[in-house]
Amino acid sequence: MLSCLGAQRRVFSKGAYVYHAGEPVRALGVVLSGSVSIESDDFWGNKSILDRVEAGEVFAETYACIPEEPLMVSVVAAEPAQILFLEVERVLHTCPDACRYHTRLIENLLRISARKNLNLSRRIFHTSAKTIRGRLLSFLSYRAARSQEAWFTIPFNRQQLADYLGVDRSALSNELSKMQREGLLQVEKNRFRLLAGPL
């Protein structure tokens, strides 16, 4: 099946660029192991992390479907990663053998795109608050509800969380310390526990 999709498997070291902003893209990526960050850098070098794509997830499918539209973001290996690239032209058109897996692949791609839209909408929601505390409360409340456990882990280190929320790292750390002192949460690196305390 993979041969009819123009599949290519590649390995990337941590920090390596999988795709650079401005490039045209013809293949979507499936993360087989490790993870990648979807990042945006402005003219002055300020970085924002838009998303983290984990093993089993897909990236660049939107741009691969519109190859004349250059990437607005970069894809960077957040850790050593193995990625399977699939040519979208071959994915969208069923093969002459009409293999049963092809239809399932197209259905899954549509579901993945819908989930990505939800994730982007969620990030806009988390970054719409004017204060760092507001952004933290929105993001951490969502992660806690999703985890349904007292302690939960986020997929970002402190710098990545600051980039994701669009705030300065030191200001974010100061706000987390302040929230801890006020009894709103407990923090252990990227593990959090929300507490009922005064806002």
Q: What is the pLDDT of residues 141-155, one digit of tens each?
A: 999 998 888 899 998
CA atoms within 13 A on the CB side of 50: 16
CA 164, CA 154: separation in Å to the nearest integer?
A: 12
pLDDT in tens, 53-96: 999 999 998 888 888 889 999 999 999 999 999 988 877 777 66
Contacting residues for 144 by C-beta, under 8 A, at least 6 apart: 152, 192, 194
**Number of residues assigned to the chain:** 199
Q: Which of 28-42, 86-100, 117-131 has the lowest mean pLDDT?
A: 86-100
CA 31, CA 130: separation in Å to the nearest integer?
A: 34
**3-state SS assignment for residue 194:** strand
**3-state SS assignment for residue 156:** coil
pLDDT in tens, 2-31: 666 678 999 999 999 999 999 999 999 999
CA 121, CA 180: separation in Å to the nearest integer?
A: 28
pLDDT reported for residue 82:
98
Task: Work out whether strand 185-188 and strand 191-194 pair parallel, antiparallel, or are unpaired.
Answer: antiparallel
- In angstroms, the Cα distances linking 177 to 151, 157, 174 are 17, 15, 5
Query: pLDDT category, 103, cuts 50, 70, 90?
Result: confident
pLDDT reported for residue 5:
65
- In angstroms, the Cα distances linking 32 to 79, 85, 88, 116, 139 are 12, 10, 18, 18, 27
Select from 77, 83, 84, 85 the least CA-distant residue to 13: 77
**pTM over 0.85, yes/no:** no
- Scanning the structure block, which residue is given the tokens 């929601």? 125
